[in-house]
Amino acid sequence: LEMRHLGLRPDAAHYNALLEGLLARAHLRLADRLLLQMADDGVARNRRTYMLLLDAYARAGRLEDSWWVLGEMKRRGVRLGTAGYSTLVRLYRDSGMWKKATDLILEMQELGVELDVKIYNGLIDTFGKYGQLADARGVFEKMRGQGIKPDIATWNALIRWHCRVGNMKRALRFLAAMQEEGMYPDPKIFITIISRLGEQGKWDELKELFDKMRNRGFKESGAIYAVLVDIYAFA
């Protein structure tokens, strides 16, 4: 307002900076008012504007607003890009539309959009969340086949969702493969693994796993010991 009072004309960069601050603090109504002011001033929305809106609306679960942003981008010929597709995967995942997520790979490949580890992680997490573990593993293999190296988030997702359905053989295979690449799960994932092994009465596997982790210098925590006490107490 001070800029306007001094006769200075805010441009898209100024509006985007203010919009980013409002959206980061979840002031969505103020953000909507700012967009109206932007239109009144004749300042065109650019790709940065749309990406800020898409990310904020997706995080807030505002589906209709998200679809509107996507429609506007398509109508104006603004490409979604890698970051946009990552946001879209998250939106589909949180909205339960995992089948739509399956179509994204084909769409991205047709448009020549580079698939990065974040997109693959989002797809794996989406399939895992809705029990489509064969598809999750398929995405994982496709990811590695394209030379994209899995990160900790990739392994954690694969281990977590296989533990969720009780498929401990595959969960432990992923854990072993993860360790071979010099990475270790965070304590929460490790607690999930030992909890599921305990529920299934696989005491030998549980002890072997815990010993291996200790030998590899895994940092022990009170939470892990608490889970072990609970497991053995009710065995």
More confident residue, 176 or 212: 176
More confident residue, 217 or 87: 87
- Burial (CB < 10 A; 0-12, 13-18, 19+), residue 195, is middle
Listed in sequence order, the residues at least 6 apart from 195 whose beta carbon sits closer than 8 Å to its beta carbon are: 227, 231
Listed in sequence order, the residues at least 6 apart from 17 whose beta carbon sits closer than 8 Å to its beta carbon are: none
Residue 23 has pLDDT above 60, yes or no: yes
User: Domain locations in the chain?
Assistant: 1-76, 79-144, 150-235
Among the listed residues 180, 130, 126, the one whose alpha carbon sits nearest the alpha carbon of residue 150? 180
Q: Which two tokens stand for residue 150?
A: 């899995």
Q: What pLDDT does residue 191 have?
A: 80
Least confident of 53-62, 89-98, 117-126: 89-98
Rounded to two decimals, the pTM is: 0.64
Residue 229 has pLDDT above 60, yes or no: no
Among the listed residues 143, 145, 150, 156, the one whose alpha carbon sits nearest the alpha carbon of residue 115? 143
CB 159 within 8 A of CB 129: no
CB 152 within 8 A of CB 167: no
Q: What pLDDT does residue 84 have?
A: 82
Listed in sequence order, the residues at least 6 apart from 86 whose beta carbon sits closer than 8 Å to its beta carbon are: 116, 118, 119, 122
Least confident of 45-54, 60-69, 116-125, 185-194: 185-194
Least confident of 34-38, 140-144, 160-164, 227-231: 227-231
Listed in sequence order, the residues at least 6 apart from 49 whose beta carbon sits closer than 8 Å to its beta carbon are: 12, 15, 16, 19, 38
Name, of 75-79, 148-152, 181-185, 216-220, the range with top average pLDDT: 148-152
Convert the pLDDT of each residue in 152-165 to its tens digit.
999 999 999 999 99
